[in-house]
């Protein structure tokens, strides 16, 4: 209703008698009744206190993913902050731009295979005043890249293909498959990303990967196979949501 009135929700609370523009509201309600996520109706979503434009091109930023930023902040507390940050599967740019808002001297590169997601992330970087420190590239994971990066972030698609249609309709019908589909077992993106990390990371670099509920031990095992030790970080529900990967010395 606040969106239909063009005011903030707090203004709505202060003036509950204000008349509603009844030309806009029914269409908005109909979209929500058809399970379109509120963030897509409003065209924006807050992440890590920053305001992001969102679109059907990529995932709507999730509060759970803020665990990756908390983990990155914890790792670099008391040591030199990262100068080069890479985000694989950048989507709206939420992880990269949140990281750059924390590490204010860093430069970042975000990669996404979706052209429309890259365009969205570039717009977000510009609106948030970080376009001079963030670049976005349309590419297949890290195939076009070389390191070194001090911090690599990734929230890859990790839903097993056969489970996507059973997700809530807000997700299954309105968020793109490319942002969700983790292959038959949910791990195909990790299998693509992990072998590239050694090449991408600086000697003291770390990677922080998001994992789905219950996927931490399998991703940890895959990481060990790629010569990385993993350290779990929990989200606000107590679920392991992020793995911090450190290279294991040979």
What is the footprint of ligand SAM within residues 149-178 (CB under 6 A)?
155-157, 178
Look at residue 21 and give its three-state secondary structure: coil
Q: Quick check: 108 binds ligand SAM (CB under 6 A)?
A: no
Strands 228-234 and 201-210: unpaired
Lookup result for tokens 């019908």: 173
Options 18, 32, 35, 113; binder of ligand SAM; rule CB under 6 A: 113
| Least Å from the CB of residue 222 to ligand SAM | 17
Q: Quick check: 94 binds ligand SAM (CB under 6 A)?
A: yes
Span from 1-9, 73-81, 90-98, 126-134 in contact with ligand SAM (CB under 6 A): 90-98
| Least Å from the CB of residue 146 to ligand SAM | 16
Name, in order, each residue with C-beta under 8 angstroms of 1's C-beta and a sequence gap of 6 or more. 12, 20, 25
Q: Quick check: 111 binds ligand SAM (CB under 6 A)?
A: yes
What is the footprint of ligand SAM within residues 210-249 (CB under 6 A)?
none
Q: Quick check: 179 binds ligand SAM (CB under 6 A)?
A: yes
Nearest to 83 by CA among 111, 112, 104, 69: 104
Q: Quick check: 21 binds ligand SAM (CB under 6 A)?
A: no
| Least Å from the CB of residue 4 to ligand SAM | 27
Q: Tell me the β-bridge partners of 240.
A: 234
Q: Quick check: 65 binds ligand SAM (CB under 6 A)?
A: yes
| Least Å from the CB of residue 114 to ligand SAM | 4
**Could you give the CA distance from residue 54 to residue 120 in angstroms, rounded to a whole number?**
7
Q: Quick check: 61 binds ligand SAM (CB under 6 A)?
A: yes
> Whose Cβ is closer to ligand SAM: residue 150's or residue 196's?
196
**Could you give the CA distance from residue 148 to residue 136 in angstroms, rounded to a whole number?**
17
Q: How many residues interact with ligand SAM (rule CB under 6 A)?
A: 22
Buried b (16+ CB within 10 A) or exposed e, 147-183: bebbbbbbbbbbbbbeebeeeeebbbebbbebbbbbb
- The neighbour count for residue 137, using CB atoms within 10 Å, is 13
> Whose Cβ is closer to ligand SAM: residue 26's or residue 43's?
43
The count of C-alpha atoms lying within 13 angstroms of the C-alpha of 79, restricted to the half-sphere facing its C-beta, is 12
List interacting residues with ligand SAM (CB under 6 A): 58-59, 61, 65, 89-92, 94-95, 111-114, 117, 140-141, 155-157, 178-179
């Amino acid at each position: 209703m606040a969106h239909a009135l063009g005011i903030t929700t707090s203004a709505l609370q202060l003036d509950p008698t204000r008349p509603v523009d009844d030309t806009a509201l029914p269409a908005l309600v109909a979209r929500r009744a058809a399970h379109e996520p509120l963030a897509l109706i409003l065209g924006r979503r807050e992440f890590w206190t920053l305001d992001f434009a969102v679109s059907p091109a990529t995932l709507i930023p999730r509060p759970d993913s803020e665990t990756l930023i908390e983990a990155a902040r914890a790792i670099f507390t008391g040591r030199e902050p990262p100068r080069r940050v890479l985000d694989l599967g950048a989507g709206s740019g939420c992880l990269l731009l949140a990281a750059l808002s924390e590490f204010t001297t860093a430069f970042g590169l975000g990669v996404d295979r979706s052209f429309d997601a890259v365009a969205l992330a570039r717009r977000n970087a510009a609106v948030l005043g970080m376009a001079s420190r963030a670049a976005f590239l349309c590419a297949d994971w890290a195939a076009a890249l070389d390191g070194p990066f001090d911090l690599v972030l990734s929230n890859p698609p990790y839903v097993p293909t056969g489970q996507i249609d059973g997700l809530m309709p807000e997700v299954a019908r309105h968020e793109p498959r490319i942002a969700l589909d983790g292959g038959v077992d949910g791990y195909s993106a990790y299998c693509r990303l992990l072998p590239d990390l050694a090449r991408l990371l600086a000697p003291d670099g770390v990677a922080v990967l998001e994992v789905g509920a219950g996927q931490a031990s399998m991703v940890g095992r895959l990481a060990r196979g790629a010569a990385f030790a993993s350290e779990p970080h929990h989200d606000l529900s107590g679920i392991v949501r992020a793995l911090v990967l450190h290279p294991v010395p040979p």
